[in-house]
Amino acid sequence: MTNKDLHFELLGEHNEIAVIRLTRLTKRNALNDGLILALRDVFQNLPSTVRAAVIDGEGEHFCAGLDLSELSDRDAGQGLFHSRMWHAALECVQYGPVPVIAALHGAVVGGGLELATACHIRVADESTFYALPEGSRGIFVGGGGSVRIPRLIGAARMTDMMLTGRVYNAQDGERIGLAQYLVPTGGAFEKAFELAQRIAKNAPLTNYALTHVLPRIAEQPADQGFMTEAMMAAIAQSAPEAKERVKAFLEGRAAKVQKS
Ligand code: 1HE
């Protein structure tokens, strides 16, 4: 799990929040192979106390994307395996054991946006900007962006970003669905951590259903989706933790839903 460009820390009373920070400050947190593999290893080896994770980046930018200096000498076969390595690592983020929140600021570009979209929730501060400069670099996304980004903002917007080099600012990014939360500059980590604490209090099985089952239902034809939903609902309800939580509400021991 050790890589000088990745800081890992456990926070919370019961070490229930994992904080994973890109610390390759001098290269604006550009992702080289070592960093991608370190991210994979972290998510494959999260301690069992962890219930939610936050990813952020040190310095002025969340992440400048793929480390372009590693591109030069790759042939087609190596390029294929390199992209598949990113896929495997970001699958570990998306389909790891816990929900992951990205705390965004500054540049969220190229592979940085691919990393952010592998997370379940994105909190952006006002300094955030999003771009896919692959178009102007003569390359293509390779870290799952063509699968995940259109599901958030639609293929037409992604096509525009790559064809024209369009950069979305923080407000527009939230408007089109790149981030679910927009906070003042400097506030992304705090908000992400607050959300992680709330998520950590959910039943782990419900969190699992949301991170592993819901995205699959979303890809299924409706009749299969309804059936998968019913099966997941049955499994979740039958868990002792669900029974205790429902009982607590009925006995007035659990929080009501509050108007925000
Ligand atoms: C880098 C990278 C990088 C910075 N690879 N070295 N990504 C991009 O095309 C984005 C490229 N980066 C930028 O546009 C800018 O660096 C930023 C807007 C992110 C930040 O600007 P700034 O002025 O704060 O920093 P800088 O002076 O541009 O960069 C500081 C150093 O980081 C500098 O190196 P130095 O040795 O001259 O100090 C930069 O060269 C270096 N640096 N970004 C390598 N990306 C799985 S496929 C995904 C495909 C992609 O991600 S393509 C998009 C790549």
Same structural domain, 181 and 52: yes
Give domain status of residue 40, yes or no.
yes
Q: How many residues does the chain have?
A: 260
At residue 247, the pLDDT reads: 92
Same structural domain, 105 and 211: no
Which residue range is the domain that position 15 belongs to?
6-200
Same structural domain, 193 and 117: yes
Ligand 1 close to Cβ of residue 137 (< 6 A): yes
Same structural domain, 182 and 235: no
Ligand 1 close to Cβ of residue 175 (< 6 A): no
Alpha helices in 97-221 (DSSP H): 111-118, 134-137, 145-153, 155-164, 170-176, 188-200, 204-208, 214-219
Ligand 1 close to Cβ of residue 144 (< 6 A): no
0.85 cut: is pTM over it?
yes
Same structural domain, 176 and 225: no
pLDDT digits (tens, 9 = 90+) for 138-161: 999 999 999 999 999 999 999 999
Q: Atom 19 in ligand 1: which residue has the minimum CA distance?
A: 64
Pairing of strands 100-104, 52-57: parallel
Ligand 1 close to Cβ of residue 145 (< 6 A): no
At residue 1, the pLDDT reads: 54
Q: Atom 42 in ligand 1: which residue has the minimum CA distance?
A: 27
Average pLDDT along the chain, 260 residues, taken 10 residues at a time: 90 97 97 97 97 98 96 89 97 98 98 98 98 93 98 98 97 98 98 98 96 97 98 95 92 92
Give domain status of residue 121, yes or no.
yes
Task: Give the nearest ligand 1 atom to 64 CA.
Answer: 19
Same structural domain, 146 and 225: no
**Considering its fold, how many domains does the chain have in total?**
2
As a whole-number percent, the residues of the chain with pLDDT over 90 amount to: 95
pLDDT digits (tens, 9 = 90+) for 15-50: 999 999 999 999 999 999 999 999 999 999 999 999
Give domain status of residue 256, yes or no.
no
Give domain status of residue 219, yes or no.
yes
